[in-house]
Amino acid sequence: MKTTIGFIGLGNMGTPIAKNLLAAGYQLQVYNRTLAKIDELGTEGVTRCQSPAEAANSVPFVISMLSDDTVLRESVTGDGGILKTLQPNAVHISMSTISPDTAEELAALHEQAGNRYLASPVFGRPEAADARKLWICISGDEQTKADARPILDCLGQAVIDFGDKTAGANVVKIAGNFMIMASMEMMAEAYTLAEKNGLDRVQVSEFFGSTLFAAPIFQNYGKAIANKQYQPVGFKSKLGYKDARLAFKLSQTSEMPMPTVNTVHNRLLTAVAKGWGEADWVEGVSRGVSEDAGL
Amino acid sequence: MKTTIGFIGLGNMGTPIAKNLLAAGYQLQVYNRTLAKIDELGTEGVTRCQSPAEAANSVPFVISMLSDDTVLRESVTGDGGILKTLQPNAVHISMSTISPDTAEELAALHEQAGNRYLASPVFGRPEAADARKLWICISGDEQTKADARPILDCLGQAVIDFGDKTAGANVVKIAGNFMIMASMEMMAEAYTLAEKNGLDRVQVSEFFGSTLFAAPIFQNYGKAIANKQYQPVGFKSKLGYKDARLAFKLSQTSEMPMPTVNTVHNRLLTAVAKGWGEADWVEGVSRGVSEDAGL
């Protein structure tokens, strides 16, 4: 029988990740704020828990995949938090997209408690998580990375080691989500410019997506933007806005002027202000560009 | 013996294009402001001309590849311009990156003169022109596009037809160069953010260039930006600035708010103001981002 792992957070990303761990033969102690979500995992190998502390009890690894810094911090340090039960030397594999500051703060708390924290944010939408096609970014202590590796290898197409800084992988994740948002913004601007000049925005998108910009981001998001096709919702605008804020804050704390961050931050803030927080972030960006242009 | 073609403009792009026409068996009547550049083409099949008018005399096609709207307009309408000699029904294949307004103005003048204008801007650096790997964008009258097609097929890996608007292809070219500049800006911002946080910017660039952003722009320009390696100069910052101005102007005339255009326009304007006009546009963008960050 394989190791038992604690698992916290069954959102769009956490659920397929948990299913893949079960498929790989791991036993899971699962906590989710909405307990009914746990039923989706079935009963085989699953123990339902009432708190993060219960999920983290007596396991060598606990994985968290939560929506933001605040929820993660509460899950670690709160009354029912991971730190209440996590055993000595156990590893908290932290997959959420959070600020490097929070990662460093939590890593220090884990160290004080005699256990370990590993930054492991991922790239990929829910379909990619489901198909074990995630790119998993890690950084920090060598032994901790080596210990977590067999678990991470079950979940993605590659695990990339960004060195020994505790929060290095978080910086990469924020930089990447910034680049995705900036790409959506530039495509929406360019294709709407084409539309306003009487061109077929789908043809223009297909041209760039098959030549200079022949990459997944420009093909998949490009198709949605060109066709103004924003269903199904894969990643909400309000979460995109959260990531834009992380990038904005990191540019400030790093003393790194990033005019393009200002643009995408304002775009997602506007989307949320207009009431599109639950819409896909592609809609948040693309519809905003079109509305600004009077379309 | 194949057709004789007029050819105007032996810059970084024009020279390899002219060589490929000669290699395909065409005879060329060539004009270049600096006449000595014509010697680089050899003597076989080449007639040296003293003016655009002389190059355009008695040929069914004249190709122009010039640096900007002003030079092109002078080459068409000036005392020694193409319109002085171009025969009825002959086609001016206009490959320069220019504003749609200029394209429409020149197309109207050609029509009044009883001959034809074809917008044919290209994507690709000089190496791509040399290797016949250009992407050639065309738009306008169907018969004119069909007549020019055999010549264009000698010069690129694909000819893409963007419909019947006279200047449609010019809009696509401006949109594409905007997207390239915006990509350089976003990479420079993201990789410098990584650098300031103690990460290896080359590793970060290689990660994105081989995963989410696995496209030529992010691989080739990304490598130069990550390594701060700006030689050799393929496309000058002052020409990038010209293209940023074209995008800026087109956003105004199209009533199309484009915040990312504002950013790249300011970036290239700053590069020129700092005296980097002759440096590669990758340097103009990337060095500007680094200097703003105090690096």
| Largest Cα span, chain A | 65
Is 0.90 surpassed by the pTM of this model? yes
Instruction: Please identify, among A165, A187, A213, the residue that sits at the C-terminal boundary of a domain.
Output: A165
Kindly identify which residue of chain B lies nearest to residue A158, measuring between CA atoms: B211
A157 with A74, same domain: the answer is: yes
The mean pLDDT value for B199-226 works out to: 96
In whole angstroms, how far apart are CA A221 and each of A42, A125, A290, B212, B217?
33, 12, 16, 11, 17
**Residues of chain B positioned with their CB less than 8 A from the CB of A158:** 211
The mean pLDDT value for B4-29 works out to: 97
Q: How far is B263 from chain A (nearest CA, A)?
A: 7
Separation of alpha carbons A248 and B66, rounded Å: 41
Chain B residues 227-286 with CB within 8 Å of chain A: 250-251, 254-261, 263, 266-267
Taking the Cβ of residue A291 and every Cβ of chain B, the question of whether any pair is shorter than 8 Å is answered with no
A115 with A16, same domain: the answer is: yes
Structure tokens at B222: 């990304």
Mean pLDDT, chain B, rounded, equals 97
A255 and B294 within 8 Å at the Cβ level: the answer is yes
Asked if B145 and B118 count as a contact pair (C-beta separation under 8 A), the reply is: yes
Look at the block and give the residue holding tokens 């828990």: A49
A142 with A179, same domain: the answer is: no
A201 with A218, same domain: the answer is: yes
The residue of B212, B225, B252, B254 whose CB has the most chain A CBs within 10 angstroms, and thus the best one to mutate to test that interface, is B212
Report the number of distinct structural domains present in chain A: 2
B141 with B192, same domain: the answer is: no
Q: Decide if pLDDT at B1 tops 70.
A: no
Q: Which amino acid is at A195?
A: E
B197 with B96, same domain: the answer is: no
pLDDT digits (tens, 9 = 90+) for B146-157: 999 999 999 999
Task: Look at residue A271 in the predicted model and tell me its pLDDT.
Answer: 98
B34 with B154, same domain: the answer is: yes
Instruction: Please identify, among B147, B166, B185, the residue that sits at the C-terminal boundary of a domain.
Output: B166
A132 with A227, same domain: the answer is: no
The mean pLDDT value for B164-179 works out to: 98
The mean pLDDT value for B35-51 works out to: 95
The mean pLDDT value for B25-43 works out to: 95
pLDDT digits (tens, 9 = 90+) for B172-203: 999 999 999 999 999 999 999 999 999 999 99
Task: Look at residue A1 in the predicted model and tell me its pLDDT.
Answer: 61
B17 with B160, same domain: the answer is: yes
Residue numbers in chain A where pLDDT is lower than 50: none
B176 with B162, same domain: the answer is: no
A20 with A125, same domain: the answer is: yes
Taking the Cβ of residue A166 and every Cβ of chain B, the question of whether any pair is shorter than 8 Å is answered with no
With both helix axes pointing from N to C terminus, report the angle between B259-273 and A168-196 in degrees, rounded to the nearest 10.
100
Torsion sign, CA atoms A262, A265, A269, A271: positive
CATH number at residue A39: 3.40.50.720
Instruction: Please identify, among B166, B191, B225, the residue that sits at the C-terminal boundary of a domain.
Output: B166
Paired with A92 in beta bridges are A62, A117
Tell me, yes or no, if A173 is annotated catalytic.
yes
Structure tokens at A100: 């490097």
CATH number at residue B216: 1.10.1040.10
In angstroms and rounded to an integer, the radius of gyration of the C-alpha atoms of chain A is 20
DSSP one-letter code for A6? E
A200 with A246, same domain: the answer is: yes
Q: What percent of chain B has pLDDT over 90?
A: 98
A175 and B255 within 8 Å at the Cβ level: the answer is no
Here the ipTM equals 0.95
Could you list the residue range(s) of the whole structural domain that residue B224 is in?
171-292
